[in-house]
Structure 1
Amino acid sequence: MIRVAGESDLVQLSRIDHEIFPHDAYPFFVLRQLFEVHGERFLVLDCDSRMSGYSLLATTPDGKQSWVLGLGVVPHARGVGHGRRLMVESLDRLSADRVAEVRLSVEPGNAVALNLYESLGFSRVDHRPDYFGAGSDRLILRLSLSG
């Protein structure tokens, strides 16, 4: 089941964020603030009565562009399409809100993520060396939701 995250989910969200992204997890206070600002764009995946993944998108104030700030599924629930379901649900909600474009950054070597995003229609638009600091290169991908 995919649903909008609630305040009572924050501790669990922090736990799974650290499980999914052990070296790049959001500090709890940042996760809390992202929830406050982008709550309607914070989706969680419940699988077998446990929170097993999330997606977080942030839309620009003009409502025309969104960025994927997080998409992940815990290791034991990977490989069965949960990440795709989270992303499709997120994209459907953005389309319903008439967001025109979605962007994201991804590690150049993350073939699983690249395959997922490209299979959903994202295209590579830039390679940014040191995007998140020294040695943290990222590819920037883009998907048009209009037209």
Structure 2
Amino acid sequence: MTAVPDAPTGVPEDLPLMRGVELSDLEATTLLDQAIFGRDSYSYTVMRQFYDLYSRHFLVVDDGKDIQGYVLAGTAVDGRSCVLGLGITQDRRKRGLGRRLMLGVLDLLRADGVHTVRLSVAPENDTAIDLYKSLDFTTEGGLQKDYFGPGGDRYVMLRRL
């Protein structure tokens, strides 16, 4: 299991446990991803492959009964990383879980020598954009039309660690 840093400063202490993903979490994590991202979600097969490749940078928030959120970063050997997914259950949003997951994975990435983290975000997802900006991500260029195919416009954001 991935060792996760202590709760970052400024994050409420009454949040569910943040920990490294386990194989038994993949079904719940996949269902959460599908509920949030619909047609753009990952299949169980892809989540399993991500688990095999990137489990060190794949964190979940677990309240003891259910997975409440996850973050996943894929990392290249040259010190670059990409946040492949961040999702929080609808009923647990706006409680600091996304921030906590992002700070946790950024700490792990930094400790592993990653120097650059990228992510993409839908232009209508103001909450996520605000979160990423508050974590010192900046937009690379303007809106990238059809980034994920027709209708899949995204902002690409970058942060140096």
Class of the TM-score when normalised by the shorter of the 2 chains = over 0.9
Structure 2 spans left out of the alignment, 5+ residues? 1-16
Question: 1:19 corresponds to which letter in structure 2?
Answer: A
| Alpha-carbon separation, structure 2, partners of 1:48 and 1:56 | 20
Residue 6 of structure 2 corresponds to: none
Superposed structure 1 runs of 4+ greater than 4 Å apart: none
Is residue 66 from structure 1 mapped to residue 75 from structure 2 by the alignment?
Answer: no
Q: TM-score, normalised by structure 1?
A: 0.93
Q: After TM superposition, give the deviation of residue 61 of structure 1 in Å.
A: 2.0
Q: Greater CA deviation, 8-17 or 99-108?
A: 8-17
Equivalent of 1:104, from 119, 132, 139? Answer: 119
Structure 1 unaligned regions, length at least 5: none
Shift of 1:101: 0.8
Superposed, 1:64-143 pairs within 5 Å as 64-126=79-141, 127-143=143-159
Aligned residues: 144
Q: Is 1:8 aligned with 2:29?
A: no
Over aligned residue pairs, what C-alpha RMSD do you find? 1.1
Structure 1 or 2: more strand by fraction: 1
Provide TM-score, normalisation by structure 2. 0.86
SS of 1:22 mapped into structure 2: helix
Letter in 1 for 2:103: V
Percent identity over paired residues: 42
Q: Distance in 1 between matches of 2:120 and 2:50?
A: 17
Deviation at 1:48, TM superposition (A): 5.4
